[in-house]
Structure formats: structure tokens, C-alpha cells
Structure 1
Amino acid sequence: MSPHASFSTNQHPFQGVPPAPTPTPLPQFREFRRPLSDNELYDYCFYFSHPFGLTRASCRSYFLPSRAEGLNDVLLHLDVRSPASLITPDRLAIVWAITRLRHTLIASRIILPPGQYDKAYFSYIPPSNPTHALNEAKLTFSVYRDRTIDQHIESFMNDKRPHLSWDQLSSYAFIPPSHPVDASSSKVEDFTLIFCAKHCIGDGISMHHVMAEFLATLGGLDGTTGAHRTMAQLTELLDHEWSRRWASQTVLGFEPVTSPTEARMPSANSRLQAAAHKVEFLKNQETFIGGHTIPRARAATFKNVSPDITYDRRQTAAIVAKCKARGVTVSNTLFVLCNFAWTRTIRARALLGDRSFAPETLPVMMYTAVNLRPYSSNERVALPGSYFFLSLTYFNVVLPSFLPSASSLASTFWHRSRSVRAQQKKYLKSPMLIGRTQTMNLERGARSRVWAKEDDDILAGVSTTPSPPAVAVAPKPDPTLTPAAPAAASAPPWSLPPPPTMALVGLTLLGDLDDIYPAAAYPDFEFGRIASFTRKTKGKMLLLAHTFRGKFFIQLGWDVNGFREGLVEEFWARILNGVDEFLLDQDPVLARL
């Protein structure tokens, strides 16, 4: 277990007494297992693989870092102003225990039998009673009195040893005020709450929903009394959540381990339909062409940074109103902001004599995640169910890289924003969306199993035969890599080389989080900054954005060791300048002063 996610003497909130040892589960509570789905296994193995025709030699390092280096572990933190009596270590621990009962993937482990790459499974052993549930929860709950949130984020993203492991898929922590706090006081204090999870068990949306549910349990009003829940009422709720699932000698019809997205979506009715889905999927992938990527630098280690900026309510209202007037969303414009920022960056570099970048005749491709929950059904899921599971696919946006004259920049900006909206609508409204997703998942799962064996053979010093180039399957490209060239002997002399399929950057766009965190659910909580961070490996980059409580938040995370010095910083500065120029009608230079 990671030392960062467990109690230590200086962190322990319970008078320095270690948690009680975990009791042995009663005999009726056997281990429940569920195989990792193809999508989960791929995320567990190769979250940043390239989709189009790679040679296996290009990708030998992806599986092992995900297991050993915490690749793509996610941290979500929220600053809360609250009466001190509502946020105490005891209350937090018991609500965390309730959360682990409701969402069993959070409390599970991943087991991969040696060499059996299609046998990876989630393992969940229910607690034998409510006290056992609380004691288990305390083992993954921490109080950090000796660090700030920035120090904790730095540790989470860059420590050589990851905070999470495949034996511990999640953790919860909080940072209290630096001064002594009377836990019985109604005085308002500042707290920071931190929820961490492996990406293969949940995505950003599901993590926010868990955080929102956690806060509603912690600080919401009891439906009977109309007051905040007391410790006694929280204990009763823990008893209730355990009893409705495990008080009987047998499982009462619900899923002990949450089912994957694939089980919630229709699959092909026949082999013919599956073949048709695959053909359509591959033809659709041919439309995703991208020739631009940010050049990488070779480095032995990674160092993640994630600068961000928050626009105030007045600025955010102006941004939203302007986008609405032009028939687009703020999320649509972010692709174009990246598009313009990159072209301006390479033009500025060209003026300094650096002409090593791709020409403006090639388009720019960017990718973003698609939440599959609106397209899946819970009809096959017995209650009480859980919404915490990975439910993502990916979609690519392609835009021209050239820029027009200065006089028509604004009109081009909004035209391309509408193009983004049209591309997304076409992809998401397609009747083939589910077929594409299921086909992609099957291909990704098959590929991940083959590559996992090759990587483990290399680690063991065993000779292995490299697998053949993979089929185009995953619309989440690795921009450090280029497509494998076809064998010269098999290519007709008149054929053209395949088009480039590199992505410039990935975007995680969560929209308005107020829909997830309704203010009425937490009458005495005042929320401040909310942000998420991923533990990225060498040469990775991700832009994140959302609005929350009337404020627009944008963040760019990248590995500073993995890119040419200063290049991503220029790109980031020009994204922010674009917000000023196109969304706020401000002079970018004056706006930054």
C-alpha cells in the first residue's frame, strides 16, 4: 500500500491510534470477480497508444508504466468553506466507508495472473459488517496536516512511486486549516478534499458525481429532521448501506462488482453485423487526418506541470453570451483556440529561422473524450447499482492549420467553431456510434493482451516475436509517433503514402459542473477551486476546461521534460491570448498586464 494513501503517526486524526486490524470476512462473503472489459483493459495497459498502424517496437513501454508508474491516475480536489463541525476526520471517514459500499470498483483490486493477459479481473471481498467497512475505509483515508494542496498535487503527479496501486485503486484525503480547529465549532473554515482513482475504474464525469454524492452525504440535510446529519445518523446510514447489500446470506440480486459500459450497450446481433461495424469503423477512421504535433525531447524522467487560469463571473458571463450569440459552445471554441495558437507559434518560430514544423497545408487534429452514459442502458443492471465505471470513447476534430489575413481572423475563428460543433454533432448523432465503440473496444482489448505479453517477456529477458502492426482502432493518438509505412514490396508503385494521423493535443471538456454540484444540496458549503490532475508519462499533454459557480476554468498539463524547451509555454500563452482576443474582445497584450 502506498505510504501516501495510508495513515501515519503525524497524519492520523484519531488521537494517534492506528486503525483496528482488518477483521477476517465471514465465510458467506466470498470473493466476487468480474473480468476487465476490453476498454478497461486497454486503459489499464495503453491509455496513450497510437491508433494508426504502429510497429510494435514503437510501443514497448506503454503497458509496464501503467502498472508500475501510475500512468493516468487521476486526482480531483475541491476547496470548501464550511462550518468546522461538518468536516471532521471522523465524519469524512464514515462517509468514505459509505461511498466504498455504494461503488464497489473503488474498493476492489485488479488481479492479473502471470502470463494470462485475457484473465485480468476485478476482485472484491465485501466487508463482513459495518465496523469492518469503516476500518477498511480508514486504510485508504488520509489527513495531511503538514502539506499544502499544491505540494500534494506535485507529489501525486511526479513522485517516482505512485500513490495508488493495483491493490489500492482509490483513496480519499483532506487537508485541514494550518491552525488548530475546534471540531465542534460552527465557525467557517477552509478545507481541501481530495479524491484519487485509477483511470480504468472511472472517468472524470463519474469522479465528479462521486465527489458530489460524498458532499451531499456529508453536508446535506436529513430528509426527516431537516438538519445536518449527526454522527449517529451517518452511522445508521452506513449500517443501512451495508445491510441492504450484505445482511442476507446471499447476494440480493444486485451486482457485487459494477458492470462495464460494454454490458450496458447493445452488441452486434450477428457475425455479419459485427463485420459491417468493423468495415464502417475503419472507413470512418480514414477521415481523421492530422499532420501537426509538438516536437518532443528525449528525457529519462518526466515532470508534470499544470498551470491554470480562472476567469471571474463577469468575464465568464461575457464569454458564454458571445458563444451563444454565434451558435456555439465554449467547448467548441477551445479546439479553435488551440488551432490558432499552434499556427501562430510555428509562424513565430519560423521568423526566428526554425522551419522544422509541419507545413500549413496539413490539417490539425485534436481528440476529446465522449461520455457514453447517454448511449448506454441500466436496464440490465440490478439495483442498488453504481454509476462509477469507465464510460468513454474518443472523437477526433480536424481543422485547417492555415490562418487568413488579420482582417478576417475573427470570422474564421467563429466559422471553425461552428465546424467543430458540426463535426461533433455528426459523430455523436450517427446511428453507427455504438457499433464503432464496440468494434474499437474489441480491437483495443485484443491488442493490449498481445502487447502486454511482449512487454513482460522483455522484462524477463525472454525472446519474443514482435506482433504485427496493429489495426487502426483507438481514436486517442500519441502525437510522438508517426504511422508505420507500408512494406515497399506490397505497395503498388502508383499508390500514395498514407496520410499522417498525428494529434496536436487532447482536450477534456466537462462543461458546466453546476449541473453535478447543485448548490441546494449543500446549503452550508461554499465551494472554491475545483480541478483534476492526471499523472502523465513522458511527452504527454492534456488541456482541461469547465465552468463552475459562474467561473470559467482552463488548464494545460504537460511533461516539461518531454518537449522542446519553451515551446509548450508559448503555445499555452497564445491559447490564453486567444481567449482575450476572440472571447473577451480585449487586446491580448493589455489583458495580460
Structure 2
Amino acid sequence: MGFSQEIRLPLTPPLSDSDDELPGDSCSVAPDFKPSITEVRTHYERKMGDTELSYYLPSRQTGVNDMYLHLGFNAPDHLIGRSRVRLVWAMLRLRHPLLGSSVQMNDYDDVRFVYPVPTSSEGLIREADHNLEYRAQSKDVLIDSYLNGPRTLSNSRLSYLILSQPNPEETLLTPPPTPSPNQEGRLKLLLEEAVPSMRQHELLICAVHFMGDGMALHQFANELLGLLGSDKSEDELKIMLDEEWKSRWGNESNDASILPSALEDNIPLRWSKLRTVAAAIDFEMSQQKLIGGQSFPRRKDPERHTIVPTLSFPEDRTKAILKKCKANGVSISAALFAICNLAWARMGGGSKELPVLMYSALNLRPSFTIKRPSPWDSYWFLAIGYFNVILPNFIPSDERAVEATFWHRARQAKEQSGKAAKNPLLVSRTHEMAKERGERARRWAKEDDERENGTWVPPTAVSSVDGPQVRKDVIIPARKAVPSAALLGLSLLGNLDGIYKHAAFPSIKMHTLTTGSRQRHGAMLLFGYTFAGKLWVSLGYDENGFKEGVVDRFWSEAISGIEEFLG
């Protein structure tokens, strides 16, 4: 199936209607707005970098990699009303310009973020309201419709909020009783009426992956809940929005640093010819070390259907698991690599001679050398690289040695992860990987479009790319070709309670978190994190893309491994 070259896609689902009329719109000019004397800017734009392109181009048709973050919580209705939520949503779209941007594709190597200048705070509220929807659906229905239904996001809608009350008639506190004629009864009634009724709410934050990553999603959710759960009234929030708009756009001029930079521009390198060759050779040699001969048996099915089985552990058990990991010198993240490794080995899949290769994301924010000035220091940008963990594909015949093997492989995973994060060539490898991913995405996108248009012609020679060409075959000794298949990816988010400042919004009681993205056919990604004091493990995969029963068995073995080794 090819990809359309249409720049602006229809918005799905339809925009939500609001019961309240808002003055102004995004094109109106407020009386106190002072444009530049020399130029009236209507928008700002910048080209995408290679990493952003590698996410954008595959997403054009069906939204591959479109992210979501689901949060389940209890809160009083007045904190989650539409008029309050759209004020906070408008403020965050002002603070983080990419959330309110659109995409313009001019060519495969010229795709741009376009950010319209917000000409009034009322216009910001209206735009926020257009990208906000209220439903009455359960968590599972919300997530399933996002993952498997029509695409929610588009070139003209890069972010979207959905709030749902699955049982709008139910409250977690019983209604106040009929007033008692005596003083004690009246006092009791007043006290009960002073406590707002708590209801179950589901929040789904939707965002395209080419403008940010999982860490941006979680930082954003914390900021959103912090404002919603604050003690500020709606009038006070409106004043905040007005003041923040004036501080950014009420001046006579603004520079072009409004939009966050591309990943590669945040870790710049000065390339000499020698360094260019050295970086290319190092990257090629590091890629040759990636050996993986294990993969799930797949099947072809025209319909993709992603499911996300999720397991959580009570707080006391989570503490015991974390304590046991610490006693064995590893984190829960490293232990989950070993869990997947032994689960696959116990299934007996693949050759025992070839190892298991798994990949994961690497947070590159600590490596950034460019610091953005306030107030344009948004955290909504891509800042991820990748690393791999390679472990043997066998288990000892002596059952007494299995647990020791498990912890040894967990420590191997920890060591490999640490080396990837601290590698002195991390930045140059990130640039080389970005170039490779960008070039591959452009080539595949062009081919997809040509196939759809019936104009595709098989290439007769390898196309040239910009920059110095390195004869790697002359410098790097020839090696026998080896398989480099990955078994699965792991998204290991760590302790999310370090991001969510629960005490800052005491009236909002979070209890559930699920995250993931719309997947391509035959994709699989395991998530592991702690949240609300609990350990959570989930497996998002296309159930139509694998041989029947094989993923179910793997998931069962993984759960058994957690029970056996982690307690």
C-alpha cells in the first residue's frame, strides 16, 4: 500500500462541538497586539531533521508511530470541566509551539513544521477547543479505537486530547443525605457538601512521534495535571494565559528560535574530512557487531490489529521486586531484558547458536549541548537514539543453574546498556544513524508513492547521497554476512513517579497508566515502568501479524519468569 502525497489530510474524528461560544479566533488581532514595525509575521517554520523525517514519512497514510498516553484517575468534576481543560490546553499549546503546528511537505527532503502566530489568547482557546474531545468510553475502548480505528492525527493536527467518563452517573462518594432537622445533621450535611464528588476519568493524550518522544509525553502530562489540579480558579487561569501570550507575542519583535530545533542540531559536530571518514567507519563497524538470529514467526494478514495486554503488581510486591533487583546489582529494566531472553529460550525458538538481539530507546537529552532561551525552552522535541542488547539463546541443562544464569544475563544487559549511554562516540553515531534512517525513509517513501501512482521503476544503480563518499570496503576488512534480526523492542521508562509530582495536584488521584503507539504490521514492543508505586509490564503487538499462539506463549513465559526470578 502506498502513501498519498496530499499535504493536508481530513481531520478524524470530527471536531468536537462546544456548548460555549468563544470570542475571537486564531486569525483575529487583539487590540493590544503590537506587530513589528518592519514586518508582520503570520507564521514561523523550519525544516525537519533526518530523525524527524524518519518518523514522519512512514506515518503519512495510517499514522504509524502516532503516540498515545493514557492516564486513569479520580477527580472532582469541576477540575475536569471543558471550560477549565481548554484553558489549560491552550496555555500548554502556547508554551510548546509544536503542539499547535502543522506540517507542509514540499519534497521528500523538504518537510516543514509550520507554526501560525497566535494573535490572541481567545484564538488560542478556540484552537484548543477544536483539538479537545469528550467521550463516555472505557479505557480499553479508547485505546483500541486510537490504535486500530481511523487515524486521529494528521498533517494539520499534531496533537489531540480526549477525556472520558466511562460511567458518568457514578460517583465514588455517596450523595449527601436528606437534611436532618437537628443541628448535628445540618453540620454533617454541610461537611459532606464541602467535599466534591470524585469520579473516574480517563485521559488520552495523542501526539505524533516526529515532534516528540515518550519523555516529552510524560513531562507534558505532569504539567497538564499540575495546572488542572491547582487551586487556581478559571478566571485566574485565563489571566495567566493572557499574560503568557503577551510576554511571548505582545512585543514588537520575535526571533526565529521559537520552534525547538531538530535532534541533530541540538548535538552539533564540526565535521572535518578526516572526522567524517572516521565517524562513518566507526558507525559501520558498530553496526557489524549487531548479530541476532531470533525472530517471531510471522504471518501475512491485510488487517493489522494491535492489542496491549498489561500486568501490574501491588506496591508491596513491587518494593520486594525492586529490592531483589538491587541486591543482584541490576535495575528492573536490565532484569526485563533477561526475562525476555529466557522466555524465548524456553520456547525453543530459533537456533541455539545464534544470539537474541533486542533493541531499546536511549534518552539523548543529557548529551545536548545547545540550550534554548526562555520562554522558548519547550521540551517537546525528539531526543532519542537506539541501542541494542545481545544475549545467548540457550538455558543451562541443570535447573539449579537457571536462576544464576538469569541474573548473570541481567547484569550483561546492564553492562551493554551502560556502555551505549556512555560511549564517547555516541554523538557521532547518532548523526550517522540519523543520516541512514533519513535516507532510507526518503527512498522508501518515494518508492511507495511511485508504486501507488504506477510510475515506479526499479533502480539500476545505488543513488548517490550528499557529502563525502567513503570506500568502507577498502578500509574495513571483509566479514562473513551474519543475520541481524531483532526479536523485539523494549521501551523501559524507569520510575515515572519521579516525573509525576503527585503531591502538586492532590485532588487528582492517578491509578493507571498505559502508553504506546499505532504500529505497523507485525510490530511488537514491550513496556516496563513503575507508576503510582506499582510495577507495570505491557506488550503491544499486532495479533494478526504473528503465527497463531506464539506471542501468547511468549507472554505467558515472560510472566512466569517474573514470578520465578523476581518474586
Alpha-carbon offset, residue 140 of structure 1: 0.5
Letter in 2 for 1:375: S
Select 1:6's aligned residue among 4, 7, 15.
15
Secondary structure of 1:579's counterpart equals: helix
2:402 aligns to what?
409
Give the conservation status (yes or no) of the 8 Å contact 1:38–1:444: yes
1:23 offset after TM fit, Å?
4.4
Aligned residue for 2:379?
Answer: 387
| Partner Cα separation in structure 1 for residue 296 and residue 261 of structure 2 | 38
Equivalent runs, 1:116-127 vs 2, <5 Å: 116-127=107-118
Answer yes or no: is 1:137 the counterpart of 2:128: yes
Residue identity in the other structure for 1:132: G
The offset of 1:428, in angstroms, is 1.3
CA displacement at 1:303 relative to structure 2? 0.6
CA RMSD of superposed structures (Å): 2.3
Aligned to 1:201: 211
Shift of 1:152: 1.4
- Contact preservation (8 Å) 1:43, 1:200: yes
Find the aligned partners of 2:22 and 2:558 in 1 and give their Cα distance.
Answer: 48
Q: State yes or no: 1:258 paired with 2:250.
A: no
Q: Secondary structure at the match of 2:395?
A: coil
> Does residue 225 of structure 2 align to residue 215 of structure 1?
yes
CA distance in structure 1 between the aligned counterparts of 2:457 and 2:95, rounded to whole angstroms:
43
Q: Which residue of 1 aligns with 2:529?
A: 546
The aligned counterpart of 2:232 is: 229
Whole-angstrom distance in 2 between the partners of 1:470 and 1:322: 53
Q: Which residue of 2 aligns with 1:241?
A: 244
How many residues align? The count is 517
Which residue pairs with 1:152 in the alignment? 142
* TM-score of the two chains, using structure 1 as the length reference: 0.83
Aligned residue for 1:138, secondary structure, equals helix
1:57-456 aligned within 5 A: 63=58, 66-113=59-106, 116-145=107-136, 147-159=137-149, 161-176=150-165, 178-180=167-169, 186-220=196-230, 228-251=231-254, 253=255, 255-346=257-348, 357-381=349-373, 383-404=375-396, 405-456=398-449
Partner residue of 2:51?
39
Matches of 2:256 and 2:478 in 1, distance apart? 56
Separation in structure 2 between the aligned mates of residue 285 and residue 41 of structure 1, nearest angstrom: 21
Distance 1:358 1:163, change over 3 A: same
Contact 2:258 2:376 in 1 (8 A): no
SS at match of 1:266: coil
Q: Which moved more, 1:381-390 or 1:567-576?
A: 381-390
* 1:150, distance to aligned residue in structure 2 (A): 1.2
CA distance in 2, matches of 1:194, 1:523: 20
Match of 1:570 among 543, 553, 563: 553
| Secondary structure at 2:346 match in 1 | helix
Instruction: Specify the code of the residue in structure 2 equivalent to 1:368.
Output: S
Structure 1 CA distance for aligned equivalents of residues 263 and 28 of structure 2: 30
Amino acid corresponding to residue 403 of structure 1 in structure 2: I
How far residue 117 of structure 1 moved from its aligned partner, in angstroms, is 1.1
Per the alignment, in what secondary structure is the counterpart of residue 418 of structure 1?
A: helix
Using the alignment, how far apart are the partners of 2:275 and 2:373 within structure 1? 25
Quick one: distance in 1 between partners of 2:305 and 2:256? 43
Deviation of 1:86 after TM superposition, in Å, equals: 1.7
User: CA contact under 8 A between 1:84 and 1:181: conserved in structure 2?
Assistant: no
| TM-aligned CA deviation for residue 190 of structure 1 | 1.7
| Structure 2 residue matching 1:366: 3-state secondary structure | strand
Letter of the aligned partner of 1:40 in structure 2?
Answer: E
Deviations along 1:20-40, one digit per CA (max 9) or x if unpaired, are: 784425583412111001000
CA positional deviation for 1:254? 6.7
Query: Which one-letter code corresponds to 1:557 in the other structure?
Result: G
- CA distance in 2 between partners of 1:566 and 1:464 (Å): 39
Alpha-carbon shift at residue 3 of structure 1 (Å) = 3.6
Unaligned stretches of 5+ residues in structure 2: 1-9, 30-34, 172-192, 465-472
Q: Residues 87 and 241 of structure 2 are in contact (CA less than 8 Å); yes or no, is this contact kept in structure 1?
A: yes
Distance in 1 (CA, whole Å) between partners of 2:531 and 2:460 is 46
Cα gap change, 1:520/1:5 in structure 2, threshold over 3 Å: closer, same or farther? farther
* 2:509 is equivalent to residue 535 of structure 1: no
> Within 1, Cα distance between the matches of 2:514 and 2:463?
35
Q: What CA distance in whole angstroms lies between the structure 2 residues aligned with 1:131 and 1:547?
A: 39
Q: What SS class does the counterpart of residue 120 from structure 1 fall into?
A: strand
State the Cα distance separating 1:180 from its structure 2 match. 4.6
Partners of 1:201 and 1:389 within 8 A in 2? yes
Partner of 1:478: none
Q: Aligned equivalents of 1:411 and 1:280: distance in 2?
A: 35
Q: Pick closer, same or farther for the CA change 1:269–1:143 going to 2, 3 Å.
A: same
Structure ID, larger Rg: 2
Identify if the C-alpha distance between structure 1 residues 178 and 296 changes in structure 2 by more than 3 Å, giving closer, same or farther: same
Matches of 2:266 and 2:374 in 1, distance apart? 12
Q: Give distance in 1, aligned partners of 2:496 and 2:338.
A: 22
Local SS of the residue matching 1:112:
strand
Aligned equivalents of 2:492 and 2:285: distance in 1?
27
Q: TM-score, normalised by structure 2?
A: 0.87
Task: Please give the alpha-carbon distance, in whole angstroms, between the structure 1 residues aligned to 2:418 and 2:455.
Answer: 48
Distance 1:184 1:206, change over 3 A: farther
Specify the code of the residue in structure 2 equivalent to 1:551: K
What is the distance in 2 between the residues matched to 1:517 and 1:365?
Answer: 32
Letter in 2 for 1:271: K
Question: What's the % identity of the aligned pairs?
Answer: 35
- Post-superposition Cα deviations, 1:134-187, rounded to whole Å, max 9, x if no partner, equal 001111001113x2221111111111x211111111101211352358999722
String of CA shifts for 1:361-416, please: whole Å, max 9, x gaps.
Answer: 11000000001111113425553310111111110100000110211000000001
- Partners in 2 of 1:455 and 1:286 — Cα distance? 28
Q: What CA distance in whole angstroms lies between the structure 2 residues aligned with 1:382 and 1:190?
A: 37
1:19, 1:138 within 8 Å by CA — same for their partners in 2?
no
Counterpart in the other structure of 1:588: none
Matches of 1:25 and 1:42, distance apart in 2 = 36
TM superposition shift of 1:523? 2.1
Task: Give the aligned partner of residue 526 of structure 1.
Answer: 509
- The answer to whether the Cα contact below 8 Å between 2:389 and 2:413 also exists between their aligned partners in 1 is yes
State the distance in 2 between where 1:446 and 1:37 align.
11
Please list the CA deviations of residues 76-126 of structure 1 after superposition, one character each: whole Å capped at 9, or x if unmatched.
11112123222211111110001101111111111112xx21111101102
**Corresponding position of 1:48:** none
Contact 1:118 1:449 in 2 (8 A): yes
Give the deviation of 1:268 after TM superposition.
Answer: 3.3
CA, structure 1 residues 203+180, in 2 after alignment: closer, same or farther (shift >3 Å)? same
Corresponding residue number in structure 2 for 1:223: none
User: 5+ residue gaps in structure 1?
Assistant: 46-62, 221-227, 347-356, 472-489, 585-593
